[in-house]
Every structure is written in C-alpha cells, then in structure tokens.
Chain A
C-alpha cells in the first residue's frame, strides 16, 4: 500500500490533488479556511515528532493521525500502567504492561492506515534527541518533567525546529508555541531558568480532562502550523495559563531573557 504522501503524488505528479477517499475522510476540516485543500496536502507531507506518550502525547498523536499528518514519530520508553488509564485515553486494560510507543502505534494504525507512523520505545535524552528530531517539521513536547523539557528546548533551538509545549497539573494547564528561530521570542529556558517547577502528575495530581484540554490546545496549534506554516494564525512566544475549574485563560508574552544560556 502506498503511504499518504506517495498516494497523493501518484495521482497528479505535476499538481498534487487529494484522492477522492481523502476528500471524504477529511471533509469536515477541508471546509475550514485554515486547512482547505492546500493545507491538507501540507499535513500529508509534514512530519511531527511527539516526545512523551502519556496524557498529552497519547491524545495529540490521536488528533494528528486523525487529521492526516503524513509522518508521525512517537517517542516514549515507558509502559502502560493501570494508573495511566484515568487520563491517557488512547490506552485500555488490554495494553497494561505494554510499551506505550508500540501500543499507541498499533492504535493509530487502526485510525489511519495510510500514514507513515514510526515509534521509538526509548526515553528521550540529550544524547538521542538530536537524531530523534532531525527530520521533524515540528516537535511536540508532551513530557512530564523540567529536565527533559529543557533538553527538548535546547535541541529544537539548535536545530531551528518549531516546538509546541503543553503541560498540566491539578486543574491547571499551560502551553507555549516556540518558533525557535526568532530574536523577538524567548524560549523555555527563559521561562524556567532558576525556577523550581513542580515536577509531575505523580506528586501533584491531575484530573483527566485537564491534561486533555492541554493536549487539545497543543494539537490544534500544531495542526494549524503544519497546514499553513508560519502563515498560520497562531500566537508564537505567548505563554498560556488556564484554570480548568474556573474556566479562565491568560496569555502572556515571553520575551527573550538577556541572560538565557540557550537563546541568547
């Protein structure tokens, strides 16, 4: 079977067109000006790397696959635990003990068999990240601790690869889009340098839908970017802070910090 990208070009090599079945599959989003025909073709050609396949990554991956992102790389070395099922909705009891990356790969293949999906059952670190993200059109940081988030920020900045960050804890979710090539925009290091950030869901607790809201925001931002590139109507370098209980959402500009060791 041809994969998504080659199936598009096989029909019309001079001017690629969507196949009839793709028009049916993606009909609801093709109606949107922010996607339309050309954006859908861009999605099919794009490559998103998702680091971390927990509450954030398992859901963002599902949305990207559903929307037709042609090349998706799933990265996580963890296995599915029963405590994950409360919020990591792509997994179920059949997956307990399995590697998340392989389980999610199998589930996404059922959603959209046309895509080129790869998985790596490894924990991302400073050594393997440069290779893991080297061909990415964008990276989605779906991890759960500051140490690896800093490494992802550093690696994407050095490679000038746009980075979509989301995080959640308790009833709070937060997000940040970073172009990683702009002098006007800070980076994750500017935000967290010298700050002791509360680490993860294990110590702080999390309500399932709250991390889902973060993932939905993150997937939306990434899809709009992958469809329209830097012409997409999304905000770069603004930190979103939302409280799911109160229904409030704030957005703050993140300027570069003059003392940042990554972006300055």
Chain B
C-alpha cells in the first residue's frame, strides 16, 4: 500500500493505492445517482468503475448528468 496524490474536481487529495473509482466515490460519500466520472479527461462508464484504478497524479472529475430539455 502506497499513498498517491490525485486531483478530484480541482481539489488535491491523498489516497491509499490501490483504489478504484468505485472506492473513491464511496470514500467521498457521494451519491452515485446520475453521477458521471472522468479520469484524465476521459469518461469511464459506470460498469468500469470497479476495475478502473487510480495512479499518482491522476485527475478525476465527478459531475451529475442531466437530461432535461
């Protein structure tokens, strides 16, 4: 286990590696309803969150999808 530094929604964050996107969402206690996640500016589909692991200096953007019009 090693500590890595990542950036989540423009905020620096230190986490213990290995950590997946699913675990990051849980760690931050975020509601995953309507949530989209991009790792290093590429969106990761929700099915791939559990198997997508973060590395040192990764950037994560978490935002809410909308569908109104």
Q: How far is the CA of A211 from the CA of B48 in the complex (A)?
A: 31
Task: Check if A191 sits within 8 Å of B36, measured CB to CB.
Answer: yes
B36-69 interface bits toward A, Cβ cutoff 8 Å, 1 = contact, 0 = none: 1010011101111000000000000101111111
| Residues on B with beta carbons closer than 8 Å to the beta carbon of A259 | 45, 47-48
Q: How far is the CA of A259 from the CA of B47 in the complex (A)?
A: 8
A46 CB to nearest chain B CB (Å)? 22
The interface residues of chain A, by DSSP majority, are classed as: mixed
Task: Say if the beta carbon of B35 comes within 8 Å of chain A.
Answer: yes
- Chain B interface, number of residues (Cβ within 8 angstroms): 21
A157-208 interface with B by 8 A CB criterion: 166-170, 172-174, 186, 190-201, 204, 206
Task: Check if A194 sits within 8 Å of B46, measured CB to CB.
Answer: yes
- Chain-B contact segment, one of A23-31, A61-69, A123-131, A141-149: A141-149
Task: Check if B69 sits within 8 Å of A56, measured CB to CB.
Answer: yes
Task: Check if B67 sits within 8 Å of A145, measured CB to CB.
Answer: yes
B34 CB to nearest chain A CB (Å)? 5
Q: How far is the CA of A250 from the CA of B43 in the complex (A)?
A: 12
Known: A241-B63, A253-B42, A255-B43. A195 touches B69 (CB 8 A): no
Q: How far is the CA of A138 from the CA of B63 in the complex (A)?
A: 28
| Residues on B with beta carbons closer than 8 Å to the beta carbon of A194 | 45-47
Q: Which of A167, A195, A196, A252 contacts B68 (CB 8 A)?
A: A167
| Residues on A with beta carbons closer than 8 Å to the beta carbon of B32 | 195
Task: Check if B41 sits within 8 Å of A252, measured CB to CB.
Answer: yes
A123 CB to nearest chain B CB (Å)? 14
Residue of A whose beta carbon sits closest to that of B33: A196
B15-29 interface with A by 8 A CB criterion: none
List residues of A whose CB falls within 8 A of some B CB: 52, 54-57, 142-146, 149, 166-170, 172-174, 186, 190-201, 204, 206, 211, 214, 239, 241, 250-255, 257-260
